[in-house]
Amino acid sequence: MGSSYGEKREIHVGPASTQEIKGIQVLLKDLKSLQQEGGKSGDLKFHLKDGHCVKAHSLIIKARCKRFKGETSYPHVSQDVFNTFLTCVYTGKFKIENISPLTLYPVYLLALDFGLDDLSSTCEEVMISNMDHNYALVLLQEAVASLSLPSCSKPNLIEKENGNGNISDGVNGIPVSGVSVKSAIKKLTLSPAIAPTPSPRQLGEDMRFKVQKIVDTTITYLSENNPSGLKRNTVFLSLSVETIKVMLDSEHLCLEEEEVWRCVLRWAQAKAGVEAHVSLWTEEERVAVSQYLTPVISHVKLLLIHSRVFAEEVEPTGCVPMALSLERYRTAALSTFEASLSGNGELDPRLTPRNAQKLFHSSLIINNERSCLGKKLQEWHSAQASRVNNTNWKCVYRASQHGFAAGDFHARVDGLDGPSVVLALLKNNKWICGGYTDVPWNSTKSPKYITSSKSFLFAMNPTTNGVPIQFPVTKKHFAVCHDANSGPIFGAGADLYISSNCSTNSDSYSNLPHSYEQSGGVNGSSPSGGVSESSPGSRSRSLTPNSSSSPTALDLIVAPSSINKKGKSSRADNSINGFAFAPAYHFMLADYEVFVPSN
């Protein structure tokens, strides 16, 4: 029986998602065509760099750009940059591969100005992820230029073309001739090496916050990536005076003040075209350099510079006021506390050291309170390299992020060349321990010992003045052990064994001293010998953190013979000089990280 005329029937038109995708593709194509033919139908004219004009459709601009207030004069923006921005406005597409990194910042500023948040977020993400020394310096220069501009005297004006081709404002429709009042843009004296991207008017608070974030991010990057090398970077040497001031005043600049001075002096010399050492300057060269040093020298914390450096490298420039020189020597004669106080008894910011350089980037274990451990590890690494080393370290593995299983550790660390540092944080404890080795990690089906004469273990107890202590390898043929079923292993005891899934079991342990020992022996004694060189994983694990006869996990104690029945150290004093990790005490980890050199 046939269906009646009014009966509902199913109409097969293919998957709805397919139809939607086709419709979206056609819509985007049409919008792209509309943008390209804006010169014919566009009713909004934007005035750009070099006298170029680009037309757009006010309905689309208003619908897509939530902060658009009618400003149409952008004499600092090139036609290509503005067209790139408009493509995203019309189509929502932004092809990163077709954009030069140097173009991203002006597009980013336009996105902020117009309120196109998805585009500004994308630009910010790409700029940060593509950071290197030169790009960071260029971004810093451009961001500082954006923050330094005066307010614009031009009123908000929506320029539309009426039917006669004349320009009228979008409010009253009154014809005006040509372009209205031009934006007052401050002319910055900059090196040709860097082309800044100013904004046509003073940034709003939201925009200033975003741009300031770029400033902070670039300075942080430079501080974490061999900041001492700035004085040899040609882009740094071409920065503007204003950019140098911003860098010096930033709390994100982490560098010893002597190095800060040397970077600034080298910058001023490059600007003045003077290559000779300060002790060899002629009077003309001294005057030339002082033109650049004088505006920025007050931003250097000269009172913190070592007396020898001050006398040999700072004073000879002739740029230090006599009163400041006298204050510098008076400060050096006072105690640190007395010198740090200003006349009203408050701390003098000129005597407040800059934040310590963070050598272990993004570490969740070495934070600001534990920065001394990072410095000490760098010092020990330099000793192994037999030279002063400015290595910066990058995190290649973090258990809490990548997984605590042994396979997760080996997947990210195995085969990486060069030295590595393992940082471990005990669960429910403030102890930090770990190890350094100059040999790559690897996976083997059965445990295999690897020889190294440069490996060492370390520990730090924040309750005992936070002094890091080192345990050099004494049995180099058992320095580290490779085992696919375990995390990092140091020593044949094992002196430090990190188990698979160490955050949920107590199989990790330390049998120090065995293959590692504090210099001169534990408490001045010889190594205790420990167990034989058997597989680390086969070590008896009868002691647990919950055992009444066991000390706190990985507690630092004296030689094993001095442990009393309650598991406490019988050592009378609180000195940690002769202390070592307790042998065979098991523990769980809250997290552990592995770092390798980034430069």
Are residues 520 and 533 in contact, defined by beta-carbon separation less than 8 angstroms? no
Q: How distant, in Å, are the alpha carbons of 25, 424, 592 from that of 400?
A: 42, 11, 8
Residue 595 and residue 363 in contact, taking contact as beta carbons nearer than 8 Å = yes
Cβ proximity of 388 and 382 under 8 Å: yes
Q: Which residues pair with 46 in a beta bridge?
A: 54
* Rg over CA atoms, the chain: 32
448's enclosing H/E stretch is strand 448-450
pLDDT at 328: 73
- Where are any strands of DSSP class E within 504-598? 508-510, 556-557, 580-581, 585-587, 589-597
Q: Are residues 339 and 390 in the same domain?
A: no
CA distance 38 to 114: 19
197 belongs to a structural domain: no
Q: Is there a domain that residue 3 lies in? A: no
DSSP run (H or E) holding 337: helix 336-340
Amino acid at 250: S
**Token couple for 417:** 């060349």
Whole-number Å distance between alpha carbons of 133 and 233? 8
pLDDT at 403: 94
Q: What is the DSSP letter of 563?
A: B
Under 8 Å between Cβ of 384 and 479: no
Please indicate, yes or no, if residue 63 is contained in any of the structural domains.
yes
Answer whether residue 416 is part of any domain: yes
The count of structural domains within the chain is: 3
Q: Are residues 343 and 385 in the same domain?
A: no
The parent domain of residue 178 ranges over 23-130+150-184
SS3 32: helix
The answer on 528 and 396 residing in a single domain is yes
| Structure confidence at residue 38 (pLDDT) | 58
- pLDDT score for 457: 92
Task: Tell me: do 529 and 382 sit in the same domain.
Answer: yes
My answer on whether 413 and 346 are in the same domain is no
Identify whether residues 459 and 566 lie together within a single domain.
yes
Q: Are residues 260 and 310 in the same domain?
A: yes
pLDDT of residue 358: 64
What CATH number is given to the structural domain containing 46?
A: 3.30.710.10
Tens of each residue's pLDDT in the chain, 599 residues: 454 544 544 444 445 555 556 656 665 665 666 666 656 667 788 888 888 888 888 888 888 888 887 778 888 888 888 888 888 888 877 676 666 777 889 989 988 888 888 888 888 888 888 888 899 999 999 999 888 754 332 333 334 444 443 333 332 222 222 222 222 222 222 333 344 444 444 556 778 888 899 999 899 888 877 777 888 899 999 999 999 999 999 888 888 888 899 999 999 999 999 999 998 999 999 999 999 999 999 899 888 888 888 888 988 988 888 877 777 777 666 544 444 444 555 566 666 767 666 677 678 888 766 667 888 888 888 887 765 556 778 899 999 999 999 999 999 999 998 899 999 988 866 788 899 999 999 998 889 999 999 999 988 875 556 688 889 999 999 999 999 999 999 998 788 999 999 999 989 988 888 889 886 444 333 333 333 444 454 443 333 333 333 333 333 322 222 323 333 333 233 333 334 444 347 888 999 999 998 76
User: Are 325 and 387 in a shared domain?
Assistant: no
The phi, psi pair for 412, rounded to 5°, reads -105, -15
Give 297's DSSP letter.
G
Contacts of 57 (CB under 8 A, 6+ apart): 34, 38, 41, 42, 43, 44
399 CA to centre of own chain: 20
Determine phi and psi for 537, rounding to 5 degrees. Answer: -70, -15
Residues 6 or more apart whose CB falls under 8 angstroms from that of 107 comprise: 81, 84, 85, 99, 119, 123
Q: Is residue 228 part of a domain?
A: no
Say if 209 falls within a structural domain.
Answer: no
514 backbone dihedrals φ, ψ, rounded to 5°: -140, -75
Same domain, 464 and 538: yes
Q: 377 Cβ partners below 8 Å, 6+ apart?
A: 359, 360, 421, 436, 458, 468
What whole-number distance in Å separates Cα of residue 168 and Cα of residue 166?
Answer: 6
Please give the pLDDT value at position 550. 32
Q: Which residues contact 262 (CB under 8 A, 6 or more apart)?
A: 231, 313
Please, which residues bridge with residue 471 across strands? Answer: 457
Q: Check: CB of residue 225 under 8 Å from CB of residue 176.
A: no
DSSP string, 346-376: SBPGGGSPPPPP-SBTT-SSS-GGGHHHHHH
In this structure, are 61 and 122 located in the same domain?
yes
pLDDT reported for residue 130: 81
Q: How far apart are CA 472 and CA 97, in angstroms?
A: 49
Residue 31 lies in a domain: yes
Query: Which among 351, 381, 415 is the end of a domain?
Result: 351
Q: Is residue 337 part of a domain?
A: yes
Is 402 found in the same domain as 287?
no
Give the pLDDT of residue 532. Answer: 41
Judge contact between 366 and 595, C-beta under 8 A. no
The model's pTM: 0.57
Residues 6+ apart with CB under 8 A from 457: 433, 434, 435, 436, 470, 471, 490, 491, 495, 496, 512, 516, 581
Asked if residue 427 and residue 278 are part of one domain, the reply reads no
